[in-house]
Amino acid sequence: MTYFVTCCTQLRANGLDVPPVEGVLRGIVVASDDGRDTVTDAFTVMPDHIHWLFTLGNRLSLGRVIARLKAQSGQAMTAARLDWQRDFFDHRLRADEAIERYGLYVFLNPYRAGLITADEKWPHWWCPHPENLAFVSQLNLAGTPPPEWIVEPVQADLEIGE
């Protein structure tokens, strides 16, 4: 099963996108993939939330994967004076839903939030399997989107919890 998950900081406090918090979060996701608990398609760290698009492995439940991410990031979060919101938003993709639209949403989120311009590359985006997302091959040489992607809705835009 493939999931699109959003986890937010308590009171939407900023600070997830700065070292060492961002590095810890990415490391946890990489370790989850290495342990075959997840297979990540797209992951981005925003100032006050993360988006994670992944296929769940067979060993752990979705709740356990997210609980582990929150627990393992606890020390870095505390040092940054951050805490996670108690819950998280998740959407299990149906069999007829392509991951493409969710992956593109994750990629474009910092651009649409106005954190960077179309000619900048968001450093907190991670896509370990770009062959799974067709839009990645359409990025500019610098890894940035065409400017029109930022203003056009992503296939009727996703209605997600952020």
Q: What are the phi and psi torsion angles at 148 (to 5°)?
A: -65, -25
The CATH fold of domain 1-162: Alpha-Beta Plaits (3.30.70)
pLDDT digits (tens, 9 = 90+) for 100-110: 999 999 999 99
Position 61 pLDDT exceeds 70:
yes
Provide the pairing of β-strand 49-56 with 2-8.
Answer: antiparallel
Give the model's pLDDT for residue 162: 44
pLDDT digits (tens, 9 = 90+) for 2-29: 999 999 999 999 999 999 999 999 999 9
- Assess contact for 53 and 106: CB atoms under 8 A: yes
Q: Determine the Cα–Cα distance for residues 95 and 124; give it in Å rounded to an integer.
A: 29
What would the mean pLDDT of 60-77 be, rounded to a whole number?
98
